[in-house]
Amino acid sequence: MQIFGDSNSGNCLKVKYTCDHLGLPYRWEEVDVASGATRAPSFLEQNPQGQVPFVVLDDGRPLAQSNAIIWHLAEQSPLVPDDGYARARVLELLFWEQYSHEPYIAVCRYNLVYQGKRPEDREPWRVQRGERALDLLDAMLDDREWLVGGTMTVADVSLVAYTRLAPEGGFDLGSRPHVRAWIGRVEAALGLRPVEARA
């Protein structure tokens, strides 16, 4: 399988985390979003959506959209539950991540890290929705170790990708103890270095 991804993107890292955890072999093709590589005709020919992550499976079939990709790759593994209701709960969180979490947390991180903006220059409405998403996540995790059921699922993998990077977007996790503990659990399960410990 080929994974087209930008190593700085949480959406792309979700796919890497899933493959590494499940021991799925892949070739990582670095696509530098900042340099406009997703707009290159050769890339658009493969993925008209013009975004990463994007994968080409071993049999040549393409697949885009991070959460669709990790769902497909993790089917038949413990990362995707068997029970119908539990599967729907995981999907609920994957949709929530893309509509109510990532657009706020990831974009604020982009503003600070890649556009060099100051925290006070972030869009207030976006910051407010990001804060709300983190509060909601903290409440979801106050009596449980994993988001759905008793083990890690792709909902945890998907949501941890940008949540662990939220401080880079100017969000404080200090007041969200359940989120912090959960990040530690998911990082340990995925074999990731704690984000605070990175150089």
Cis link prior to 53 (omega < 30° from 0)? Answer: yes
- Could you tell me the CA-to-CA distances from 116 to 17, 84, 109, 110, 112 in Å, in that order? 27, 44, 10, 9, 5
Among 3, 4, 9, 137, binds ligand GSH (CB under 6 A): 9
* Closer CB to ligand GSH, 18 or 51, in the complex: 51
* Residues 75-114 contacting ligand GSH, CB under 6 A: 98
CB of 117 to ligand GSH, least distance (A): 17
Which residues, 6 or more positions from 108, have their beta carbon under 8 angstroms from its beta carbon? 122, 126, 127, 130, 169, 170, 171
Minimal distance in Å, beta carbon 179 to ligand GSH?
Answer: 21
Least Å from the CB of residue 37 to ligand GSH: 9
Name the residue among 19, 141, 124 with its Cα closest to residue 163: 141
How many amino acids of this chain bind ligand GSH (CB under 6 A)? 13
Q: Site residues for ligand GSH, window 50-79 (CB under 6 A)? A: 50-53, 65-67
Residues 6+ apart with CB under 8 A from 44: 38, 50
- In this structure, which amino acid lies at residue 27? R
Q: Give just the sign of the alpha carbon dihedral 63, 65, 68, 72.
A: positive
Residue 34 CB, nearest distance to ligand GSH (Å)?
9
For the bound state, the minimum distance from the C-beta of residue 1 to ligand GSH, rounded and expressed in Å, comes to 16
Other Cβ atoms within 10 Å of 158 Cβ, number: 28
Our finding on whether 2 is near ligand GSH (CB under 6 A) is: no
Q: Which residues bind ligand GSH (CB under 6 A)?
A: 6, 9, 11, 33, 38, 50-53, 65-67, 98
